[in-house]
Amino acid sequence: MKLNKLGESDLRVTEICLGTMTWGEQNSERDAHLQLDFALAHGINFIDTAEMYPVPPGPATYSRTETYLGSWLAKQKRDKIVLASKVAGPGRRDWVRGGRTELTRENITEAVNDSLKRLQTDYLDLYQIHWPGRNVPMFGVTRFDPSKETQAIPILEQIEAMAGLIKAGKIRHYGLSNETTWGVCEFLRLARAHGLPPPLTIQNCYSLVNRMFDGELAEASFREKLPLLAYSPLAMGMLTGKFAGGAMPPRTRLARFADFGERYKRELVRAAAEEYCQLAKSRGLSPTEMAMAFVRTRWFVASTIIGATDLAQLKQNIDSVKVELDAETLAGIDAIHRRYPSPSA
């Protein structure tokens, strides 16, 4: 498994990162441990989680994923694993710290302390802000709406909170997630202006059907040496071929959670996915192999975050690192992209 350097840090992570968002909802603790053992045995050293997981979130399952991961992590050699988690952004979730979800210094500190307890570790290698605390378009919304503007915790206060956690040894680095180009640049500007640590990474959605990162964010990534941790590379399974012909397998997340993943249920997403799957098969590849391999070809991607509900899926995702896309396949992908530019964005 190839190792990639995270920005200007000394962290080296595998090109595949094990995601955990199904653990505690679709997967049991035993399932989680089996996945972790399998991933570790296949060379993966990078694990990503969040206090909000599993997804879809709810009061009965909140933080269960970190607890499952922690019971496994307690038996491992901690220094062999690069561990990332996230603090939830603001939202109507009274069951997160009694509704205290604003990204204040106090809330961020409380959140990381709680995560460390659940994870049974003294530190996190990377601690990410799960989504911005200000009004931004995200999770399938693409237009900025000034009418939704509300008072938000200053970005400087968030940076100062992260700097304090680094100084205390509770985290080694911090990162952003579901962030915009303006947000990235503002975090970097303020960190430099105040002599504080800058963010190390950005974790945003990226796949064949969501290539929004290719534009302004890619420029910021290049100039600021801020690599992408790409999540949802298979578009919640749409790029695996299992939804071909309008199928809706009952055990999939899109079928089980009717109000979840709306951006992947759009007609143009289905149409694009069908064409990508046909292209993969014409090139002698499985749709999963091509979708995963494509994300790996992007110069700004440091690691691709995968999620699986069983070991067969996990194996297929990991095995995709053996696939290299040739020029003809990449040209076919570009042709489809011109017809369906980021339909799930």
Matching residue, tokens 């441990």: 33
Using a 10 angstrom Cβ sphere, with 0-12 exposed, 13-18 middle and 19 or more buried, the burial of residue 79 is exposed
CA 259-263-264 angle, to 5 degrees, is 95
E strands in 139-214 = 171-177, 202-205
* Spatial distance between the Cα atoms of 176 and 209, rounded to a whole number of angstroms: 22
DSSP codes of every residue in 77-113? -GGG-EEEEEE--SSS-TTSGGG--S--HHHHHHHHH
Q: How many CA atoms lie within 13 A of 63 on its CB side?
A: 18
**H/E run at residue 128:** strand 124-129
Backbone angle region of 245, left / alpha / beta, with phi > 0 → left and psi within -120 to 50 → alpha: left
Half-sphere exposure of 258 (CA within 13 A, CB side): 0
d(CA 292, CA 272) in angstroms, rounded, equals 16
From the number of C-beta atoms within 10 Å of its C-beta (0-12, 13-18, 19+), residue 18 rates as: buried
Question: Is there a catalytic annotation at residue 53?
Answer: yes
Identity of residue 211: R
Place of tokens 């790409």: 230
> Cα-flanking dihedrals φ and ψ of residue 55, to 5°?
-115, 135
Catalytic residue, chosen from 53, 62, 174, 264, is: 53
**222 secondary structure, DSSP code:** H
* Pick from 131, 58, 126, 59: nearest CA to 89: 131
276 closest CA partner among 344, 228, 222: 344
| Residues with a known catalytic role | 53
